[in-house]
Amino acid sequence: PSVTKEAAQLYILWVTFQVLLYVALPDFCHKFLPGYVGGVQEGAVTPAGVVNKYEINGLQAWLITHLVWLANSHFLSWFSPTIIFDNWIPLLWCANGLGYAVSTFAMIKGYFFPTCAEDCKFTGNFFYNYMMGVEFNPRIGKWFDFKLFFNGRPGIVAWTLINLSFAAKQRELHGQVTNAMVLVNVLQAIYVLDFFWNEAWYLKTIDICHDHFGWYLGWGDCVWLPYLYTLQGLYLVYHPVQLSTPYAAGVLLLGLLGYYIFRMANHQKDLFRRTDGRCLIWGRKPKVIECVYTSADGQKHHSKLLVSGFWGVARHLNYTGDLMGSLAYCLACGGGHLLPYFYVVYMAILLTHRCLRDEHRCANKYGRDWERYTAAVPHRLLPGV
């Protein structure tokens, strides 16, 4: 199906709503949710020495959006809960329009009016520049940060709504929502909520700290993420799978265990770095490798690598946990077709590539200290393999 007027209006409304929630509504969740870090937060130091400030209000945007969705489904009836499914391919055109527009705009902006010229990266290869980005942290005005906005919203806020719309369609077509559909909705909702609960932590991940903003992030966030991360729910609309209770329980356990490893590994590193190693990991003082590195301006800096907890078992157990969760979403669709397994195959490629990219960067950054870490923790994703 080609693009329709209804889909275009819907998409414009969606993106405008998310922009408004992002720029016009300062975070209030951190004022009443204990333990939640929101409001104005600082990012990492960029290579040019800039420390950007971010308005962390993704959880609030997610909550408001879902409250509107639920209010509509139960009382208001402004639109059908199957609206996303019903416009799925026409919306794909719109998402592509935004994905290419934002990547092209970011490229032009990088060349002609960058936010921070010292942080731009020009490789001399036009296609590489377009794909991997020129500007590090493109912004419009003081607060509209392209990376934070496009990475989290509109794609990740939409993820759970897309799944809800698929569940509504399954019920409309087949008279029930199967336990497989419930599992996919619940496990992916945990992952999405985790992302927004930890949005401030996200400022310290590779996407924000190291990647430049180009097609890889811009188009990836607008199109790849909402369309391909949700394939399981889409599959279940056409092939309603009802799992046996022991199988469903096994999938749930795998998903929760994966999530636990993913979250705890990320939490341990975050805690360790925030407290400069003055913390307890698995009840003990952490083992540390002290590192020295030199930045581009010739200055020497000190850093620490954690060798305890999950970071002492393997060097990227956070990725392993993520992969276990990904496998659980796919297993929830049963064994009838390969298509819903796309996600775990893709995540395995993404995270293996990311693991290699990251290790290459760390080896360059820390030199012999990184070798000491790889000698102390020889395995990347699986202990013993």
Residues that bind ligand NDP (CB under 6 A): 205-206, 262, 266, 269, 303, 305-306, 311, 316, 318-319, 322, 351, 354, 358, 361-362, 365
Distance CA 260, CA 140 (A): 37
Q: Which residue lies nearer to ligand NDP by CB, 68 or 289? A: 289
Selection from 207, 212, 210 nearest residue 129 by Cα: 212
CB of 322 to ligand NDP, least distance (A): 4
**Phi, psi angles (nearest 5°) of residue 368:** -65, -30
Hey, which bits of the chain come out as E strands? 39-45, 51-56, 139-140, 144-145, 288-294, 300-306
Q: Which residue lies nearer to ligand NDP by CB, 136 or 311? A: 311
Token digits of residue 26 = 């300062």
CB of 146 to ligand NDP, least distance (A): 17
CB of 254 to ligand NDP, least distance (A): 16
Q: Which residue lies nearer to ligand NDP by CB, 6 or 276? A: 276
Q: Which residue lies nearer to ligand NDP by CB, 234 or 344? A: 344
CB of 211 to ligand NDP, least distance (A): 9
Contacts 24+ apart (CB under 8 A), 291-295: 291/366, 291/369, 291/370, 292/366, 292/369, 293/365, 293/366, 293/367, 293/369, 295/47
CB of 269 to ligand NDP, least distance (A): 5
CB of 113 to ligand NDP, least distance (A): 29
CB of 74 to ligand NDP, least distance (A): 30
Question: What single DSSP character describes residue 48?
Answer: T
Q: Which residue lies nearer to ligand NDP by CB, 114 or 258? A: 258
Distance CA 37, CA 30 (A): 6
Contact yes or no for 349/280 (Cβ under 8 A): no
Please state the length of the chain.
Answer: 385
Q: Which residue lies nearer to ligand NDP by CB, 87 or 185? A: 185
Helices 58-71 and 155-174: crossing angle in degrees, nearest 10, is 20
Contact yes or no for 257/275 (Cβ under 8 A): no
Which residues make Cβ contacts (< 8 Å) with residue 296, sequence separation at least 6? 47
Q: Which residue lies nearer to ligand NDP by CB, 73 or 303? A: 303
CA torsion angle for 242, 244, 250, 252 (degrees, to 10)? Answer: 40
CB of 190 to ligand NDP, least distance (A): 13
Q: Which residue is nearest to ligand NDP (CB)?
A: 205
**Tally of CB atoms within 10 A around 109:** 19
Q: Which residue lies nearer to ligand NDP by CB, 11 or 319? A: 319
Q: Is 45 helix (H, G, I), strand (E, B) or coil?
A: strand
CB of 332 to ligand NDP, least distance (A): 17
CB of 253 to ligand NDP, least distance (A): 20
Q: Which residue lies nearer to ligand NDP by CB, 66 or 365? A: 365
Question: What single DSSP character describes residue 114?
Answer: -
Q: Which residue lies nearer to ligand NDP by CB, 60 or 308? A: 308
Q: What is the DSSP code string of 282-307?
A: TTBPPPEEEEEEE-TTS-EEEEEEE-
